[in-house]
Amino acid sequence: MEKRKTVVLGVTGSIAAYKAAEITSRLMKLNVDVRVIQTEGGAQFITPLTLETLSRAPVYGDQFSRETPYDVEHIALAKLADVFLVAPATANFIAKAANGVADDLLTTTYLATLAPVLIAPAMNVNMLTHPATEQNIRVLKERGVLFVEPEEGLLACGDVGRGRLAPVESIVSAVIALLEPKQDLAGKRILVTAGPTKESIDPVRFLSNHSSGKMGFSLAKAAAKRGAKVTLITGPVSLTTPAGVERVSITSSAELCEAVESRFSGCDALIMAAAPADFTVRNSAEHKIKKNGNDGLTLELVPTQDILKKVGQQKKHQLVMGFAAETQNMEENALAKLEKKNLDFIAANDVAAKDRGFAVDTNEITLYSRSGKKEQSGLKAKDEIADWLLDRLSAAWAEQQK
């Protein structure tokens, strides 16, 4: 019989701590064991008795308590965890985790665990958007910690903005996705592109854009986790190749075109999250162009190959998903690209809006399908957006099987 899975749930001092009761109850009903660690602040907002009753287990709080059966409690709990969830997570917990501060049972267990870590923040909007908190979240994300993003709305303090704990069902689904990774893409070969291209002006200068590669890397990582054989063609970015993914590095739009075209016939789906240059420099200089007094410099730009349009014309069994990076008239422009490039899906993102598009960790997609369907993802971490998009691809394959 398969071993029951255990979630170690950290509850910190936020007014949303009462929702930890519902999270515990929902997980227990799904046959997942829950072991709760409460910080001192957490215990001010919800009684250990409530969480003990719902989890049918002792609630851990004091690191040096002698009442529990474990000798080295934080290590035992760290090893017990199949997922380490902190919900709600305060700015204080996030700051400690980002800086390796281990001054209570929750933070010591966090440092000791090898389980996937999921954090659901809840706090005042100004605390969330403070540069210190933003940087701490960024650091944790770069280390592979996963987040269930807080929502916008009326906060307990009376302010309106982002900071409300994500809905319990989103938190529970994110836990379940970690406990039971779907293998719905097993057997599929997926080509993902990511990042910018660099178009050379001379040996020291280039034209490029703000793409960080995060969206494409999230897609490659999620597809590989779900069992697909993934090739990630990426422009110059400073991101680690996700486990199990084959990486192909390119620099220019022409190289990206060649890399995609040569692999297209062997793939089942192409997801084009890269931001290739639409123009390149005609006759880039062999040597560094010298500044000539106050004279300006005129560059002659010529269009690059529209890669999606080219492979869209060669499409046979493949599903092709493009992205549309728009700053205005999103629907009209995205639908025109869907048509012109012969795509199955186009994922439109508003790259002028805060927290969306280039170089941030979150995104919001409006997905248009060839069938005429229009769906809205909501603002989510790029890792979650990746799974949301792959769900649609997976559903399209399931539909083809019927």
**Residue 10 vs 235, nearer CB to ligand PMT:** 235
Pick one of 19, 74, 96, 214: the residue that binds ligand PMT (CB under 6 A). Answer: 214
Pick one of 72, 301, 336, 359: the residue that binds ligand PMT (CB under 6 A). Answer: 359
Applying the rule CB under 6 A, the residues between 242 and 271 that interact with ligand PMT are: 253
Tell whether omega for the bond before 242 is within 30 degrees of 0, i.e. cis: no
* H or E element, residue 126: helix 125-128
Interaction between residue 279 and ligand PMT (CB under 6 A): no
Distance of CA 365 to the CA centre of its chain: 13
Question: Nearest distance from residue 109's CB to ligand PMT, in Å?
Answer: 32
Question: Nearest distance from residue 218's CB to ligand PMT, in Å?
Answer: 8
Sequence letter at residue 167: P
Pick one of 107, 357, 368, 381: the residue that binds ligand PMT (CB under 6 A). Answer: 357
**Residue 336 vs 395, nearer CB to ligand PMT:** 336
Interaction between residue 337 and ligand PMT (CB under 6 A): yes
Which residues on neighbouring strands pair with residue 119, listed in sequence order?
Answer: 86, 147
Interaction between residue 81 and ligand PMT (CB under 6 A): no
Scanning the structure block, which residue is given the tokens 């941030």? 360
- How far is residue 214's CA from residue 227's CA, in Å, rounded to a whole number? 20
Scanning the structure block, which residue is given the tokens 């009684």? 47
Three-state secondary-structure class, residue 355: coil
Question: Nearest distance from residue 365's CB to ligand PMT, in Å?
Answer: 8
Interaction between residue 385 and ligand PMT (CB under 6 A): no
Interaction between residue 211 and ligand PMT (CB under 6 A): yes
Which span (41-49, 74-82, 166-174, 322-330) binds ligand PMT, by CB under 6 A?
A: 322-330
Applying the rule CB under 6 A, the residues between 295 and 314 that interact with ligand PMT are: 304, 306-308
- How far is residue 214's CA from residue 233's CA, in Å, rounded to a whole number? 13
Catalytic residue among 72, 157, 186, 204: 157
Pick one of 325, 330, 379, 386: the residue that binds ligand PMT (CB under 6 A). Answer: 325
Q: How far apart are the first and last CA of the chain?
A: 33
257: annotated active-site residue: no
**Residue 255 vs 268, nearer CB to ligand PMT:** 255
- How far is residue 308's CA from residue 260's CA, in Å, rounded to a whole number? 9
- How far is residue 264's CA from residue 281's CA, in Å, rounded to a whole number? 27
Scanning the structure block, which residue is given the tokens 């590669």? 213
Contact between 136 and 99 (Cβ < 8 Å): yes
Interaction between residue 272 and ligand PMT (CB under 6 A): yes
In angstroms and rounded to an integer, the radius of gyration of the C-alpha atoms of the chain is 24
CA–CA–CA angle 116, 118, 120 (5° rounding): 175
Interaction between residue 366 and ligand PMT (CB under 6 A): no
Interface residues with ligand PMT (CB under 6 A)? Answer: 195, 211-215, 253, 272-276, 278, 304, 306-308, 322-325, 337, 349, 351, 357-359
Residues acting as catalytic residues: 157
